[in-house]
Structure 1
Amino acid sequence: MPNFASCFPSSSDRADYPIQDPLIPSTTGDSKVVKGCIFCDASKENGFNIVYEDNQLIAFYDRTPRAKTHLLIIPREHVVSSVKQLTKEHLPLLGSMRSLATSLVPDRPPPKMGFHIPPFSSVPHLHLHVFSGPHTIIGRLKYPIAHRGRDRGKGWSWFVTIDQVEKILQDGGKVGLGRG
């Protein structure tokens, strides 16, 4: 059976990590990290195929790609655990994530960018999925985009595009499984 939560190294790859509550904050210097969060430890040394990193963002290939190109873009710091916790104050971060995504993948066909909504997300660290090229069969099922009406607002779905998130937040709303 395929591993649907395979965008990070497997538990056998993490044998050196102590088992701890993944949501207990631990401050290291000026950087906010969460103990046990695999994405807080994203590095080439930890098995991530990193294509870009700076002081704010890290981009790497998904371990089990669901499209010709499937990248994940994460904030270096553990800003929030999921898209459901985002607020209007996070719009500049989303803009930076979008900008990086468009610089890393071809614009033809237009890239698809979005987030899984808990409980359907596999890692409790905000991460933007970026797809370019055709999806696999599983990718089409796992990353559906549902629109509501002509305004292309969010419909009923467990995957939300970055456009839909930005609109919801600009309007003062919160992202959830229902319509946005």
Structure 2
Amino acid sequence: MSEPAEPSIFSRIIAREIPADIVYEDDHIIGFRDIAPQAPVHLLVVPKTDAYSNVAQLAANDPGLLAELVAVVDRLAAEHTGGEYRLVFNTGASAGQTVFHVHAHLLGGRLPEGTLGR
């Protein structure tokens, strides 16, 4: 029998084991400021379940939760960026994903020329 996987940093934030600057929370989703922002506004919007490591898995298995996540992003963008934003999901290590617990990057404000707001 294998050892259970360590909880992701996001699971630990959800469990309040690690502090975060939380800007939104409901029963299914949490939103907080990124500790290494890539834009003037950089929020992470995370489902509270760790069942999905990327957005494709979430879309295939729980499209309702994905729709809920996007609605929360839109609401947060209205509050923090005047409703204009980029929404980024990294899928895979070579694409920049470092935490394998599905999450969205809400990026807003003036982004540097020629970037995608990594």
Unaligned runs of 5+ in 2: none
Q: State how far apart, in whole Å, the 2-side matches of 1:109 and 1:103 are.
A: 8
Is the 1:66–1:136 contact (alpha carbons within 8 Å) kept by the matching residues of 2?
Answer: no
Name the structure 2 match of 1:140.
Answer: 115
Name the structure 2 match of 1:72.
Answer: 44
In the alignment of these two chains, the number of paired residues is 111
Q: State how far apart, in whole Å, the 2-side matches of 1:95 and 1:141 are.
A: 23
TM-score normalised by the chain length of structure 1? 0.54
Q: State how far apart, in whole Å, the 1-side matches of 2:61 and 2:7 are.
A: 26
Question: Residues 45 and 80 of structure 1: is their aligned pair in 2 closer, same or farther, counting only changes over 3 Å?
Answer: closer
Name the structure 1 match of 2:13.
Answer: 42
The alpha carbon displacement at 1:91 in A equals 1.7
The alpha carbon displacement at 1:109 in A equals 5.7
Any idea what SS the aligned residue of 2:40 has?
strand
Q: State how far apart, in whole Å, the 2-side matches of 1:142 and 1:102 are.
A: 18
CA RMSD of aligned residues (A): 2.4
Structure 2: which amino acid aligns with 1:54? Answer: D
Question: Residues 92 and 64 of structure 1: is their aligned pair in 2 closer, same or farther, counting only changes over 3 Å?
Answer: same
Larger Rg over CA atoms: 1
TM-score normalised by the chain length of structure 2? 0.78
Unaligned runs of 5+ in 1: 1-20, 25-33, 144-180
Question: Residues 65 and 59 of structure 1: is their aligned pair in 2 closer, same or farther, counting only changes over 3 Å?
Answer: same
Q: Judging by fraction of residues, say which structure has more strand.
A: 1
Identity rate, percent: 29
Q: 1:128 aligns with which of 95, 104, 109?
A: 104
